[in-house]
Amino acid sequence: MGILARFRRDRLNRRIVDQLWEQVVAAARDPVRFTEGGLPDTLEGRFEALSLEMIAVLNRISIEPDLKALSQDLVDRFMTDIDHSMREIGISYLAVPKRMRKFAARFYTRVRDCQPAMAEGDAASLADALARTVLSEAVGGRPDAASALAHHMIQQQARYAALTNEQILAGRLLEPPKTETA
């Protein structure tokens, strides 16, 4: 592969990842997560909303060998955006790396605790995981919030599962899934 072909491929991948990221952010801003799901409208709550949306997208991407390369690029984009956001809100230049390590650890904890239940469509197990991790401090003992958030995330998981690879590669996560016509 020539050097120009590699640059074109990298540019195309970056465009796809940027489009996917924009769609993840748009989906994570769904008010249901904050009203019914109990996530606080804070930096931490928004991080949790993004983390859960990322898990749903990564579950879909990871089942397709042709899309697996996007997984790490999308996670890298997520972490880069968190880094930039912290710098924009004025967190000290020296404190950002330390906070990034904490955010990355929280994200991978969410992946470990929530991904299996989301992949299986198990709302009860997901609600337990959400109550234990994501919502432990946020909702002050509202068990309905964990259940509502779990059901919402299972719906998102099903929505992404119905998307074609072409829709994903075009960065169109939020459009209606294509249906087969006979």
Cβ burial, residue 27 (10 Å; 0-12/13-18/19+): buried
Which residues, at least 6 apart from 180, have a Cβ–Cβ distance to it below 8 Å? none
* Long-range contacts, 21-24 (Cβ 8 Å, 24+): 21/74, 21/77, 21/78, 21/81, 22/171, 23/171, 23/172, 23/173, 23/174, 24/50, 24/53, 24/54, 24/57, 24/74, 24/78, 24/173
- The predicted model scores a pTM of 0.84
Lowest mean pLDDT among 21-25, 39-43, 105-109: 39-43
What is the mean pLDDT of the segment spanning 100-114?
92
In terms of residues, how long is the chain? Answer: 182
Contact by Cβ (8 Å): 139, 132: no
User: What is the rounded average pLDDT for all residues in the chain?
Assistant: 85
Instruction: Map residue 84 onto helix, strand or coil.
Output: helix
How far, in Å, CA of 125 to CA of 151, rounded?
A: 11
State residue 152's pLDDT score: 93
- Quote the tokens at residue 132: 């234990």
pLDDT for 72-84, tens place per residue?
Answer: 899 999 999 999 9
